[in-house]
Structure 1
Amino acid sequence: MEPGPTWLARASHSHLFPGARLRPEPGSPPLGAGEGLILFSDDSQADATLDGSVLSVGEHTTLKGTAIGPAAWEVELGGGDQPAVVRRRVLPGVAR
């Protein structure tokens, strides 16, 4: 059996964009390096991986049926139970 996600975070909206917030779910460790799961405000979800300040998010479909492709985002971690804030979309492998 594979281990579950390291962290679990609730997104402020049904998708990510600059300014969106990710708050650790109660009882979940703070966002940190490794694999996690994002729960969006419409109850859709996506697998994610945090590497430094880059959050790579897998594809998902919103409750209304909108397909959201995989993307990488630069995030500012809030620390502890403070939310992380999405800053901008980035291309994997491109210097920031």
Structure 2
Amino acid sequence: MTQSPACPTGSDAFLAVCGHTHLFPGARCRLRGLPDPHAFARAPRPVELELRFSDDVVAEARLRTEDRTGAVLAVPAYTTGAGTSIGSRTWLVREFARTGDEVELTIGGHAGGGSAP
């Protein structure tokens, strides 16, 4: 699901800028454009995201907070800019931290199943 490196596609999704070409435990993504970053960091809610990776590939994702394991990030399969296929994954979110007008997510391990709805 490669999108333009410009801005999200105009959907109701928030942009999340990631520091690498893929996610892994300890990876971080910064959510931009949230109406109240302070409140979101304290009490995250489900939102649609567009993850922009360091190679400018954009993948749709969903942050879910209703899972009994805690907050999870569901990411469908995508292909990196170098052509590597990344399978769909559901990741635990280890931490939410406000950094100015953004909220930084820190990825934990895989959350159960491995597929991302």
Structure 2 distance, partners of 1:8, 1:69, is: 21
For structure 1, the residue ranges without an aligned partner over 5 or more in a row are: none
Map of 1:35 onto structure 2:
48
TM-score by length of 2: 0.67
Determine if contact 1:6/1:34 at 8 Å carries over to the other structure: yes
Could you tell me which amino acid in structure 1 is paired with residue 24 of structure 2? F
Greater CA radius of gyration, 1 or 2? 2
Could you tell me which amino acid in structure 2 is paired with residue 46 of structure 1? A
3-state secondary structure, aligned to 1:78: strand
- Total equivalences in the alignment: 89
Which residue of the other structure, out of 27, 30, 37, is the alignment partner of 1:23? 30
Could you tell me which amino acid in structure 2 is paired with residue 55 of structure 1? L
* Deviation by residue 1:34-65 (Cα, 9 ceiling, x = unmatched): 21110001101111001111100111110110
Determine if contact 1:5/1:37 at 8 Å carries over to the other structure: no
* Deviation by residue 1:2-41 (Cα, 9 ceiling, x = unmatched): x71331100110000001000123xx11574121110001
Could you tell me which amino acid in structure 1 is paired with residue 111 of structure 2? V
For structure 2, the residue ranges without an aligned partner over 5 or more in a row are: 1-9, 66-70
TM-score by length of 1: 0.81
The equivalences for 1:1-96 within 5 A come to 4-25=11-32, 28-29=33-34, 30=37, 32-52=45-65, 53-75=71-93, 76-79=95-98, 81-92=102-113
Structure 2 distance, partners of 1:20, 1:40, is: 11
Structure 1 or 2: larger helix share?
A: 2
Which 4+ runs in 1 deviate beyond 6 A? none
